[in-house]
């Protein structure tokens, strides 16, 4: 790939150092994606400029005018500390006709709301857990059709924010308590959905029009269930390296799936990607129940792509090493801009 000027947008708190020397695993975990992207692109010969932005769009405009990047690599997951504002940054880059990586604004909107994405996917006759949404400042009343136990989450936060063992509730009292927790501590509406006891599966998809579907990946919970804990991807499971090591939480290729089952899961992931008008790259999350039913849980456009994260490790398993993965993501952003099409 030719040498590119790459502007990398990220949260100011996650601006990475030049080296990981002297930092603890917990510290590195905060900015590992930003570090891996910046250092790998630089090692590949590109002129890379990181920019921490959160409150103002002007620094982005100024950097684009001065640096004149060929492409913007966006690692922003929020703006003005609002997750739902990330699509506005993508929209801004489209308006000023600068190529950018990752998903288009429409796909970000459709995927971000867990209720909307489930409704659209269910319309395509793909199984989703039964669910109900509890808006802010409304009385919590469980619909009769929604059977306990339920898992309660933020309606639009990702990265397992706000999810713990207490998120799985088996009484109406606990449901009300957990919804209140989401409202007060996370500051969003809550979604309560049927708790699916089963395997946690992820499928990465890469592409705009022609799609590459990565191998089915599984989050394996180690000894976490030995003390009666629910096997769910809590914040600790996702983001606490010490806990992961202590309990033996790992991710890897989904074992013991018949080839036709893996192929079916990959086909469904591709259908969901197209249904939600995603492009660039995304991870589709499923639960596979004991009876073989595959439930769509959520779609994650622009998922974490640190070297150690599921998307990158699945790509490597599929023959796409990390520098090539990042180059593919850059190429997809540039080619989308050339085509003049914002949706996949």
CATH class of 130-194: alpha beta
Q: What are the pLDDT digits (tens) for 54-110?
A: 888 999 999 999 999 999 999 988 776 666 678 889 999 999 999 999 999 999 999
- The yes-or-no verdict on residue 344 having pLDDT over 90 is no
**Which of 54, 111, 56 is CA-nearest to residue 82?**
54
For residue 191, the cross-strand partners are 133, 153
Average pLDDT value for residue range 186-196 = 95
Residue-level pLDDT at 87: 87
Rounded Cα distance between 34 and 6, Å, is: 13
Average pLDDT value for residue range 274-302 = 97
Residue-level pLDDT at 342: 47
List C-alpha distances in Å: 156 to 14, 17, 72, 85, 132.
21, 30, 25, 11, 14
- The proportion of the chain whose per-residue pLDDT surpasses 90, expressed as a percent, equals 82
Average pLDDT value for residue range 2-22 = 94
**Which of 82, 259, 107, 110 is CA-nearest to residue 187?**
82
Query: What are the residue ranges spanned by the domains of the chain?
Result: 5-100, 130-194, 197-339
Helix (H) or strand (E) holding 273: helix 259-275
Q: Which residues make Cβ contacts (< 8 Å) with residue 161, sequence separation at least 6?
A: 154, 186, 235
Please state which CATH number belongs to domain 197-339: 3.30.470.20
Q: What are the pLDDT digits (tens) for 317-331?
A: 999 999 999 999 999
Q: What is 5-100's CATH topology?
A: Rossmann fold (3.40.50)
Q: What are the pLDDT digits (tens) for 121-177?
A: 999 999 999 999 999 988 899 999 999 999 999 998 877 888 999 999 999 999 999
Q: How far is CA 121 from the centre of its chain?
A: 17
Pairing of strands 150-154, 168-169: antiparallel
- The pTM (predicted TM-score) of the whole model is 0.93
- The yes-or-no verdict on residue 338 having pLDDT over 90 is no
Residue-level pLDDT at 307: 96
Q: Which residues make Cβ contacts (< 8 Å) with residue 210, sequence separation at least 6?
A: none
Q: What are the pLDDT digits (tens) for 251-279?
A: 999 999 999 999 999 999 999 999 999 99
- The yes-or-no verdict on residue 298 having pLDDT over 50 is yes
- The yes-or-no verdict on residue 289 having pLDDT over 50 is yes
Question: How many residues does this entry show for the chain?
Answer: 344
Q: What angle do CA 31, 54, 113 make, to 5 degrees?
A: 85
Residue-level pLDDT at 288: 97
Residue-level pLDDT at 343: 41
> Could you tell me the pLDDT band of residue 246, with boundaries at 50, 70 and 90?
very high
Residue-level pLDDT at 308: 93
């Amino acid at each position: 790939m030719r040498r590119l000027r790459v502007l990398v947008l990220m949260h100011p708190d996650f601006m990475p150092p030049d080296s990981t020397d002297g930092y603890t695993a917990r510290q590195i975990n905060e900015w590992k994606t930003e570090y891996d992207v910046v250092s790998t692109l630089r090692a590949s010969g590109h002129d890379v400029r990181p920019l921490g932005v959160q409150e103002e769009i002007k620094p982005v405009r100024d950097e684009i005018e001065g640096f004149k990047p060929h492409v913007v690599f966006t690692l922003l997951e929020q703006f003005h500390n609002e997750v739902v504002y990330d699509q506005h940054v993508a929209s801004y880059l489209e308006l000023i006709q600068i190529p950018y990586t990752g998903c288009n604004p429409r796909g970000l909107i459709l995927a971000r709301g867990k209720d909307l994405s489930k409704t659209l996917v269910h319309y395509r006759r793909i199984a989703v857990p039964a669910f109900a949404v509890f808006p802010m400042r409304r009385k919590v009343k469980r619909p009769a059709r929604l059977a306990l136990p339920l898992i309660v989450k933020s309606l639009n936060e990702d990265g397992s924010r706000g999810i713990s063992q207490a998120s799985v509730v088996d009484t109406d009292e606990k449901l009300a308590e957990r919804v209140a927790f989401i409202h007060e501590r996370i500051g969003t509406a809550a979604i309560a959905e049927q708790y699916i006891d089963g395997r946690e599966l992820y499928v990465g998809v890469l592409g705009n029009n022609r799609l590459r579907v990565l191998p089915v990946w599984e989050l394996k919970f180690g000894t976490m269930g030995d003390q009666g804990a629910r096997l769910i991807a809590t914040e600790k499971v996702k983001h606490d390296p010490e806990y992961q090591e202590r309990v033996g939480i790992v991710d890897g290729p989904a074992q013991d799936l018949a080839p036709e089952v893996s192929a079916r899961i990959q086909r469904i992931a591709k259908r969901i990607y197209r249904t939600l008008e995603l492009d660039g790259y995304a991870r589709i999350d499923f639960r596979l129940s004991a009876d073989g039913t595959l439930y769509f849980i959520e779609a994650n456009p622009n998922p974490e792509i640190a070297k150690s994260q599921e998307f990158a490790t699945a790509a490597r398993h599929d023959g796409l090493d990390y520098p090539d993965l990042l180059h593919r993501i850059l190429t997809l952003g540039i080619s989308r801009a050339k085509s003049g099409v914002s949706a996949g």
